[in-house]
Structures are given as structure tokens and as C-alpha cells.
Amino acid sequence: MKHIAILTVLTTLIELACIGDLVLSAAPRLLRSGSSERPFGLPQVPAPESNPLTQEKIELGRLLFFEKRLSEDETISCATCHDPKASFSDGKTVSLGIRGFRGRRHTPSLINVAFQPYLFWDGRASSLEDQALAPLRNPAEMGVSAELAVAKLHRLEGYPERFREVFESPITVKNLGQALAAFARTILSGNSAYDRFVAGDGTALTRTALDGLRLFNGKAHCNLCHQGFNFSDGLFHNIGVGWNGKLFQDAGRYEVTGVFRDQGAFKTPTLREVFETGPYMHDGTFASLEAVIDFYDRGGIPNPQLDILIQPLHLNNEEKRALVEFLKSLSGPK
């Protein structure tokens, strides 16, 4: 079930910050600073020195994230596509922007995006500060220039004062990006059954999920790419999604590097909250986790650049079920 996934200790949020009647019924937890407030199972959230996380900045970022008036026709905000009720994704195959423009790719969930070394499916951005301005500029998403967005904000009640409080400066393109990035860094998921298991609670995973974990790290070797606490190596791999027998509909990482072997390679996504974030892959081609597992079991889609790690797995039905059950254990408490 699509559900308010986020995740970490919402109650703490309510204790920490009196958010009053702001849009979110389930906000990502606000970080004040430092380690004690991060969700169980995650390391400290990194933020650049030039853009430290503060409560006020995160709060401003949240307002902007939900601000439809930023878009060209004032109908779309970041949250339209990165909907908190759908784990900061949208449940659609590919995204829909202003005037129903179909995007090229599936909207990724923003779960734990603070930890991603590269952003977008093809990794073309590496800082959340820069990235945050891209959807504004994209004619198929929000369709305004960052400069126009700033000009709009100048005219909207409350914003000039808030920016001045947070940045001690008038609204600029740079601090618009910084505020949105600060909010994005608070979209966190941890404290899953898996985290509790790793911390020593032997009963946290069901028997089937535990079988799934063993397969994940063993026979199915998913962990060679989906590795570490965030289940991503942060790198790009060709697993064959989008190959039509002749070419890739979307060249992926190749568009950024121009390196031939990067054709059809996409960023390894996190698997946290994955049960809630379908449909799956950069083109939203699979509706269910079962379909994803069947795909890996077949050895992906063979093509000239297929990653060497993608091979037929010869899983039986029970093993497939166990893998799905394990993936479900990567969601935080609701």
C-alpha cells in the first residue's frame, strides 16, 4: 500500500518543531543537527560547509517544496511529483509536468537522497544545491527560469522576510537552491526491520525475509551493486532496462560521459522504502517487485553493454518470494 512512508520518528518531529498547519501530515523528520536525531541505521547526514542544516532553513525549504506558485502556470510544486504520500515519488511510469507534459523518466523517490554522490538517473548533477534548480528550469516540469522563480518569490507574502531571516540576504537563485537542498536532506528512511536485525534483534526479520537477506548477499548477489547502509554503490550499471533489441530508448549515463560502454547504464537506486516506490526502474517499466525479481532471474536484458554481474540466477519460486519479503523489510515504521 502506498502510504506515508517517512519514516523516521515523526513524533519527534512534532515534538521538535511546531509545524502547525503546514501542508504535511507526515513530514520528514527535521534535523536540528548532529547524530542523535538521525534515523536508526543511518550515518550522520552530510551537508556542505557552505550550506549547513538549520531548522529555519529546512522549514523554508519545506514551504518552497510545496509551493505551486513557483511553477509557470502555478499548478505544480516539487511535491506534485515527489509526493510524501508516495514516499516522495509519484506512482507514475514517467513524470507529468505542467500542462500534462510527459517527462522522459520515472520520478525517483527522494529517500535518503542526501547520501547520493550523484543525482538523477544518469548522475548529471552532484550537488543538491544545483540540482534543486533544474526542475524549475525544465520546460516539461515546472517551466520557469530560476531567475523568474526568484522574481515571483519576491512578490509573495512572507518569503522576502523568511529568506532574510535564514540567509541574511534578499532572495537569490543561490539561496533558493540552498533552502530546497536543506529540505531534501531531511527526507530520510531508516529504523527498518532490517536495521533492527543488523543491530542484534534476531527476531526483527521473519524467517522468509532472513532467507531473502542470505540470497541478496549470496546466490543472487544483489549486494554487489545495492551495497552499504543505503543499498546503493552510487555508481552506474547497465542491467538492460530499455534495450529494444537494437538500441536504448534512453542512453542514460552515456549522455553525461560520452563513453560508449556507459550506454544504457543508470544509477543504482537505493532500496530503502522500495516496496512503496513503484513502479520501478528509470522508465517505470515494472509494476511490482515480483516483476523486478523475475527480470533479474532471467539475467536482465542481454545487450552489448550488459554489466557482467547480471547473469541468470536460477531462483525457484520460494527464493523469489524470499527476496521480495526481504525487500519489504527495508521500509521504516509507518
List contacts with ligand HEC (CB under 6 A): 76, 78, 80-82, 95, 97, 103, 105, 107-108, 110, 113, 116, 119-122, 128, 131-132, 135-136, 141-142, 180, 184, 220-222, 224-226, 237, 239, 241, 266, 268-269, 271, 274, 277, 280-282, 289, 292-293, 296, 307, 309-310, 323
Sign of CA dihedral 151, 154, 157, 159: positive
Task: Please identify, using beta-carbon distances, which residue of 12 and 251 lies nearer to ligand HEC.
Answer: 251
CB of 123 to ligand HEC, least distance (A): 8
Task: Please identify, using beta-carbon distances, which residue of 35 and 311 lies nearer to ligand HEC.
Answer: 311
Across 65-100, b (16+ Cβ under 10 Å) vs e yields bbbeebbbeeebbbbbbbbbbbbbbbbebbbbbbee
Assess contact for 264 and 303: CB atoms under 8 A: yes
Q: How far is it, in rounded angstroms, from Cα 324 to Cα 222?
A: 12
Cell of 167: 540567509
Rg (CA), the chain: 20
Give, in degrees to the nearest 5, the angle at Cα 29 between 11 and 280. Answer: 115
Task: Please identify, using beta-carbon distances, which residue of 39 and 279 lies nearer to ligand HEC.
Answer: 279
CB of 223 to ligand HEC, least distance (A): 8
Task: Please identify, using beta-carbon distances, which residue of 12 and 138 lies nearer to ligand HEC.
Answer: 138
CB of 13 to ligand HEC, least distance (A): 19
CB of 51 to ligand HEC, least distance (A): 14
Q: How far is it, in rounded angstroms, from Cα 59 to Cα 141?
A: 23
Task: Please identify, using beta-carbon distances, which residue of 12 and 321 lies nearer to ligand HEC.
Answer: 321
Q: Which amino acid is at 152?
A: K
CB of 15 to ligand HEC, least distance (A): 26
